[in-house]
Structure 1
Amino acid sequence: MTFFQELKKQRWDDHRYYHHNRINQFLHLLSASCFLVSYVLVFYYPAAAALVGWLLAMVLRQTGHFFFEPKTYDEVNKASHEYKESVKVGYNLSRKVVLLSIWALVPLVLFIKPDFFGVFTPATTFMAFINNMAIIWLLVGLGAIAFRTLHLFKLMGIQSGLVWMTKIISDPFHDIKIYCKSPYYIMKGEMYDNMDDWYEDVSFDNQGMKP
C-alpha cells in the first residue's frame, strides 16, 4: 500500500473496531475540539495546552472507549474483542491503561520529588506546581507518540510507523469530519453505528481493507 492507502486503512480499522457507540463518537467530537484548542495553545502556553489535552480531550476520549464502547462479539465486523485488541496498531485498551497510569502517577511523583529528579526548580506555589505537572504531562504525551512510532518501525516498518503518527496527529480534524453528525443520531435514538455509510465511502484494494 501507498502511504495514503495505509492511512485510510488505519483510520478505517480504528473506526470500525473501536467507534460503534454514538455516545463514544460524540465524546470523540468534543475531544477533537479540545485537542484543536491544545494545538493552538501549545505555541503560546504549553502548560495550558497539556492541561486541556489531558484533562479535557483525553478524559472525554477514553471515557468513550472504556465505558460506552461494547466489549462483546462484534457482529458488524465478525470479530471478537480479543482479536481487535491484538490487531490494534496504536494504543489498544491494555496499552492505554499503562499510559493513563503513568499520567495519573505524575502528580504523586512530583509531590514527593518537587524538583522531579533535578528537572525543575521546586514549586513554591500551587500554580507553579500545576505548571510543572502540565509540562511533564505534555512530555508524557509526546513521548507516548514517539515511543509507539519507533516501536512500529520495528514491528511493521517505517512507513506504518509514520502513517500511525500522522493519523494520531490528524485525528482531531478527522474525528470532527466523521463524527459531526453524532448528536443527530443520538437524538434519533440510534445508539450504534452499523458502518453502512463507511462501507460506501472506503475504497478497497487487493490487500483487503474490508473484511
Structure 2
Amino acid sequence: MTFFEEIQKQRWDDHRYYHHNRINQFLHLLSASCFIVSYILVFYYPAAAALVGWLLAMVLRQTGHFFFEPKTYDEVNKTTHQYKESVKVGYNLQRKVVLLSIWALVPIVLFFEPSFFGIFSAATDFAGFINNMAIIWLVVGLGAIVFRTVHLFKLMGVQSGLVWFSKIATDPFHDIKIYHKSPYYILKGEMYDNMDDWYEEASFENKA
C-alpha cells in the first residue's frame, strides 16, 4: 500500500468507526477550526496555542467521542465497539483516558510544585501559573503524538507511523472538508451518518 493509499485508509477507518453521530461531526468541525487557530498561534504565542488546543479543540473533540458517539454494535460496519477499539491506529478511548488524565493532572501538580521540579521559575501570579501550565500542556500534546508515532514504527512499520503522524497533523483541514455540512444534517433531523456515500468513494478499501 502506498503512503497516499494508507493515509486514505486510516482516514476512512477513523471516520466510519468513530464518526457516525452528526453532533460528534459538528463538534469535530468546531474543534478543527480551533486547532487551525492554534496552529497559527503556536508561532507567536505558544502558551495561547496550547490553551486553545486543549481547552477548546480537544474538549470539543473528545466530548463528541465520549458522550455522543454510540458504543453499541455498529450495524453500518457490522462490527463491535470492542473490535473498533482493538484496531484503532491512534489513540482509542482507553488511551485517550490516560492522555486526558495526564493533561488534567498537570495543573494539580503545578499547583503543589510551582517550578514543576525545577523546569520553570515558580510563577509569582496567576498569569504566570497559566503560562507555565500551558507550556506543559503543549509539551504533553506534542509528546503524545511523537510517542504514538514511534510506537507505531515498532507495531506497524515506519510508513504507518509517518502516515498516522501526517493524518493527525492535517486532520483539522480534513475535518472541515468532510464535516462542514454537519449543521445542515442536524437541522434536517438526520442525527446519524449511514456512510452510504463514503462507502461508494472508498475505492482503496481492502487494498493490501
TM tier relative to shorter chain: over 0.9
Which residue does 2:89 correspond to in 1? 89
Instruction: Specify whether residues 205 and 93 from structure 1 end up closer, same or farther in structure 2 by C-alpha distance, changes over 3 A only.
Output: closer
Which residue does 1:80 correspond to in 2? 80
Structure 1 runs, 4 residues or longer, greater than 4 Å off: none
Instruction: Specify whether residues 31 and 206 from structure 1 end up closer, same or farther in structure 2 by C-alpha distance, changes over 3 A only.
Output: closer
- How many residue pairs get aligned? The number is 208
Which residue does 1:201 correspond to in 2? 201
Which residue does 2:120 correspond to in 1? 120
Determine the C-alpha separation between the residues in 2 that align with 1:71 and 1:46.
36
Conserved 8 A contact 2:90-2:148: yes
1:68 aligns with 2:68: yes
Determine the C-alpha separation between the residues in 2 that align with 1:113 and 1:22.
42
1:101 aligns with 2:101: yes
Determine the C-alpha separation between the residues in 2 that align with 1:82 and 1:11.
19
Determine the C-alpha separation between the residues in 2 that align with 1:4 and 1:79.
26
Per-residue CA deviation, residues 105-163 of structure 1 (Å, 9 max, x unaligned), is 00000001100011000000000000000000000000000000000000000000000
Conserved 8 A contact 2:29-2:179: yes
Which residue does 2:174 correspond to in 1? 174
Conserved 8 A contact 2:9-2:205: no
Determine the C-alpha separation between the residues in 1 that align with 2:92 and 2:205.
25
Conserved 8 A contact 2:20-2:194: yes
Partner amino acid for 1:92?
A: N
Partner amino acid for 1:66?
A: F
Identity of aligned residues (%): 84
Per-residue CA deviation, residues 2-61 of structure 1 (Å, 9 max, x unaligned), is 000000000000000000000000000000000000000000000000000000000000
Partner amino acid for 2:152?
A: L
Alpha-carbon offset, residue 205 of structure 1: 5.5
Give 3-state SS (helix, strand or coil) of 1:97's partner: helix
Conserved 8 A contact 2:22-2:191: yes
Which residue does 1:189 correspond to in 2? 189
Q: Let me know the Cα RMSD of the aligned residues.
A: 0.8
Determine the C-alpha separation between the residues in 1 that align with 2:178 and 2:190.
16
Q: Which runs of 5+ in 2 are unaligned?
A: none
TM-score of the pair, normalised by structure 2: 0.99
Determine the C-alpha separation between the residues in 2 that align with 1:205 and 1:116.
47
TM-score of the pair, normalised by structure 1: 0.97
Instruction: Specify whether residues 165 and 137 from structure 1 end up closer, same or farther in structure 2 by C-alpha distance, changes over 3 A only.
Output: same
Determine the C-alpha separation between the residues in 2 that align with 1:206 and 1:115.
51
1:37 aligns with 2:37: yes
Per-residue CA deviation, residues 82-116 of structure 1 (Å, 9 max, x unaligned), is 00000000000000000000000000000011000
Determine the C-alpha separation between the residues in 2 that align with 1:134 and 1:38.
12
